[in-house]
Structure 1
Amino acid sequence: MSTENLLQSPEPQGGERLGAGQPTRKPRVAVVFGGRSSEHGISVVTAGAVLRAIDRTAYDVLPIGITVDGRWALTADSPERMAISDRRTPSVEELTESEDGVVALSVDPGNREVVYSEPGAVPKALGEVDVVFPVLHGPYGEDGTLQGLLELSGVPYVGSGVLASAVGQDKEYMKRVFVSFGLPVGPYEVIRPRDWENDPAACRRRITDFAGEHGWPLFVKPARAGSSIGITKVSDPAGLDEAIEEARRHDPKILVEALLRGREIECGVLEFEDGPRASVPAEIPPVQAHDFYDFEAKYIDSAAGIVPAPLTEEQTAEVRRLAVAAFEACACEGLVRADFFLTEDGSFVINEINTMPGFTPISMYPRMWQESGVDYPELVDRLIQAALRRTTGLR
């Protein structure tokens, strides 16, 4: 679709009533994707799947991409160009038709107008947006920053609010919240930026003491990143510095976690009219040719999880209970994927939640809900409807 076509404001059509004496029109959904994080490419893939699934008879759609340098751009509505190809992920830059055009939301809560501007040209109104579907992963999108902008703009949006998004992005504070609500977490150590910059030797000692208590190997990871990017499995002290620097390439704060021996179990949570419900759980089996369930295994080699997980009825009920409890503990909204370990002693330990989990057709979250009776198009529709029911502001 050309930029010129995208710049045409949609004509009112059957759907939402705008007001007395006005014609009805379909709710308008802005799908926002890409972003400045290391998960930019996966966000584009996710957006392609969402754009393909949205019911165009029920909604008008405006795709907005955020480039790797942070520019909001008008993109083509071309889901077929937004897929992994030749083992590489796409980018927003490949979907834009103007290198200079910028999209902006109004920060006036009474005005949901979206404006497109190019240097030397008169800004063009793209019409109002009724709801934003942000499918960004990682910092500057999933961490509460975009959610804060949307709150200021007064535009309803899919997913969790500012606080829950921030907590869900920062693995340290996420674990602190879990502990405060009585949810079981595994052993971990935090290395803050100032710690490493001022006294790396002391940091190494802390980590080796931690390993002395809990054993090797350890996992060194960015505290505020996702998609298993920047994670290293470290088997001895000799590998620590390289692992720390790799994690710090993605986030100056790092998390060190002990190995939990057991099975990896995931569970999806979705907000219904009467509250959050949990899906059937899934299991991530050991991945051949990969040391752990890393980025390559998840997205490039498409390692398959087992849905539903082969658990007893009691185990299934418990992990579903814990998933909803984690959702509620962090004050989440819309959707969450909760990741657990089922340890060798038969107990569940929560590893983390994702407030905007992988949402590609092969991702575990949609697969779990498919098995639970909610297919991908219905899942997308439920999330949009949940956002439309809410208003912005404190709640």
Structure 2
Amino acid sequence: MSKIHVGVLRGGPSSEYEVSLKTGGSILNNLSPDKYHPHDILITKDGLWHMMGVAMEPSNILRQIDVAVNAMHGEYGEDGKVQQLLEAHGTPFTGSKSFPSAMAMNKGISKKFFLKHGLKTPIHVFVHKKDDIEERAIQIFKTFPQPSIVKPATGGSSVGVRVARTLRELKEALYEALGYSSMALVEEFINGREATCGVIDNFRGKKHYPLLPVEIIKPAKSDFFDFDAKYSGQSDEVCPGNFTQEESEQLQRLAMIAHECLGLRHYSRSDFLLTPRRGIYILEVNTLPGLTEESLFPKSLYAVGSSLSNFLDHLISLALEKPGN
């Protein structure tokens, strides 16, 4: 049987470029050489596509592969843009389609879907780059629960995320977040236990298979699971987490609702906060969770007796399925 030509897309014009390189490298290392002929497709920060170190038009690259494994994160790779390109070329690819990807990436849109489907999410407001930032910061500081957490409205890996306790910190956080996105999200800072839960489609006989929730124990000096904690090994990730059975089941149920309500496919990972009195809050959904050695999704796979290699087999088979099968 001939091998499947798998193109692994990594890099891209995003602040998460380095993380994407690691995710792509991990995928390339875990593709079975007996089944696949891998193609390392690097997209530079300028958006130029390369294969085997040679710059090529995307169309020339895509005609050489049977399926694309999307290992990109953030802008271009996760917001629906590269998905649109792959759809236009008729190239099967892993992960959600273009429109659901764009909705999930936009925290304003995704939060509306969460609330519509009964999921609690922290109180929040949005600030646009065109706004008078100084004036908006004063207004928010006077009327909004403090402290607050400020994030780019699009993006991931906790890039550009800061906790603000003073007016000065709020202004600085807004300017930083707006350096990564045209819109900033200001949320009520909720001090709770952090958790994340993955979902896989059509796995082990279930339409949506929830993985075991991971508990994230952040470093004592950190207010939240920030970029350094994620990728430098400073935090502890416990899988399965130290949750009661009821908490675990609730996290799994909410992760499946989030996955379904946004119309996601193949896999996703939802992030949550658990509080003793106010219940569970959903923060966001990741349509392309990191698959590096330090990433949470592979740890969840191992906890249910699977592996990254087996997961990639499953993911590629989902991408290659004909509609209606």
TM-score, with structure 1 as normaliser: 0.78
Structure 1 SS opposite 2:264: coil
Determine whether 1:384 maps to 2:316: yes
Of structures 1 and 2, the one scoring higher in RCO (CA 8 A, sep 6+) is: 2
The aligned counterpart of 2:64 is 128
Q: How big is the shift at 1:390?
A: 4.3
Distance 1:73 1:302 in 2: 34
Check conservation: 2:219, 2:234, Cα contact below 8 A.
no
Q: 1:72 aligns with which of 38, 41, 49?
A: 49
Structure 2 SS opposite 1:331: coil
Q: Structure 1 residues 188, 346: CA separation in 2 closer, same or farther (over 3 Å shift)?
A: closer
Distance 1:189 1:275 in 2: 35
Determine whether 1:258 maps to 2:211: no
The aligned counterpart of 2:306 is 374
The aligned counterpart of 1:326 is 258
Check conservation: 1:167, 1:330, Cα contact below 8 A.
yes
Check conservation: 1:269, 1:335, Cα contact below 8 A.
yes
Structure 2 SS opposite 1:158: coil
Distance 2:286 2:214 in 1: 15
Q: What runs of 5+ residues in structure 2 fail to find an aligned partner?
A: none
Structure 1 SS opposite 2:237: coil
Distance 1:200 1:260 in 2: 24
Structure 2 SS opposite 1:128: coil
- Aligned length, in residue pairs: 323
Q: Which has the larger radius of gyration?
A: 1
The aligned counterpart of 1:278 is 210
Q: Which aligned pairs between 1:1-395 and structure 2 lie closer than 5 A? A: 14=1, 25-75=2-52, 96=53, 101-106=54-59, 114=61, 128-194=64-130, 196=131, 199-211=132-144, 214=145, 216-272=146-202, 274-345=206-277, 347-390=279-322
Partner amino acid for 2:61? V
TM-score, with structure 2 as normaliser: 0.94
Aligned Cα root-mean-square deviation (Å): 1.8
Deviating beyond 4 angstroms after TM superposition, the runs of 4 or more aligned structure 1 residues are none
Q: What runs of 5+ residues in structure 1 fail to find an aligned partner?
A: 1-13, 15-24, 76-95, 107-112, 116-126
Q: How big is the shift at 1:289?
A: 3.6
Structure 2 SS opposite 1:48: helix
Q: How big is the shift at 1:346?
A: 5.9
Distance 1:350 1:160 in 2: 20
Structure 2 SS opposite 1:383: helix
Q: How big is the shift at 1:200?
A: 2.9
Distance 1:141 1:388 in 2: 19
Distance 1:104 1:114 in 2: 7
Q: Percent identity?
A: 33
Q: How big is the shift at 1:374?
A: 1.5
Structure 2 SS opposite 1:380: helix
Q: Structure 1 residues 167, 236: CA separation in 2 closer, same or farther (over 3 Å shift)?
A: same
Q: How big is the shift at 1:275?
A: 1.4
Partner amino acid for 2:309? P
Give deviations 1:89-147, integer Å, cap 9, x for gaps. xxxxxxx4xxxx422343xxxxxx637xxxxxxxxxxx631110011000111000000
Q: Structure 1 residues 201, 288: CA separation in 2 closer, same or farther (over 3 Å shift)?
A: closer
Distance 1:171 1:28 in 2: 35
Check conservation: 1:186, 1:349, Cα contact below 8 A.
yes
Check conservation: 2:134, 2:171, Cα contact below 8 A.
no
